[in-house]
A and B are shown apart, each in its own frame.
Chain A
Amino acid sequence: AQTVTQSQPEMSVQEAETVTLSCTYDTSESDYYLFWYKQPPSRQMILVIRQEAYKQQNATENRFSVNFQKAAKSFSLKISDSQLGDAAMYFCASMNRDDKIIFGKGTRLHILP
């Protein structure tokens, strides 16, 4: 069974600073995908970044990057130069070849002006 654990229910960061959101996962599959989704107050789920498990290189999307540690089953998200618009709920998620996305419980990120 897949599980995704986010141990930080809430975090705060000063605007323009860097913050890292933690995530660990567990799966018995060798082929899987990991995601970070953002859910702003509008509740629309927005894909932030995606990592294929077979790729050793950490994914990067502008100010967002991940630290993918496959052996440790860790998948943290780093947000650089935090902006007020980054305030949202962030969900770590995993997906096996069966298509099912399993979400963590989320981390609410506050940006302090």
Chain B
Amino acid sequence: GAVVSQHPSRVICKSGTSVKIECRSLDFQATTMFWYRQFPKKSLMLMATSNEGSKATYEQGVEKDKFLINHASLTLSTLTVTSAHPEDSSFYICSARTSFTFNEQFFGPGTRLTVL
């Protein structure tokens, strides 16, 4: 149980286009989902926290108009990178937790975004 999927696993896009990444909890209802960014050989940096049905809370320094997060259902959150540029190329990871598993987050397998 507690499986989180991400789609796509890899995406390559042209500069200036927008890319949507999906994060799904497959066998549980995720009241809260988190989006992280990981640069090569670096640690995970929390970008934002989203609660189902409400606006995402962004970490300091993260452009909310650049990284649009939607958490429309208890099993799906999306991250849209708008007007992507090469510096947005990174590995994006989502995680999810239920209201009953406060002290554990379940991580997705990540999405590698490459912007040409």
State the A residues within 8 Å of B (CB). Answer: 33, 42-47, 50, 52, 91, 95, 99-106
Give the tally of cross-chain contacts (CB within 8 A). Answer: 44
The one of A50, A102, A104 that contacts B103, using a Cβ cutoff of 8 Å: A50
State the B residues within 8 Å of A (CB). Answer: 32, 34, 38, 42-46, 49, 91, 93, 95, 97, 102-105, 107, 109-110
B109 contacts A44, CB within 8 Å? yes
Residue on B nearest A6 in the bound complex, by CB: B43
B97 contacts A99, CB within 8 Å? yes
CB distance from B51 to the nearest CB of A (A): 10
A100 contacts B46, CB within 8 Å? yes
Residues of B within 8 A of A91 (CB): 43-44
Bound together, the chains give a CA A20 to CA B75 distance in angstroms of 38
B43 contacts A103, CB within 8 Å? yes
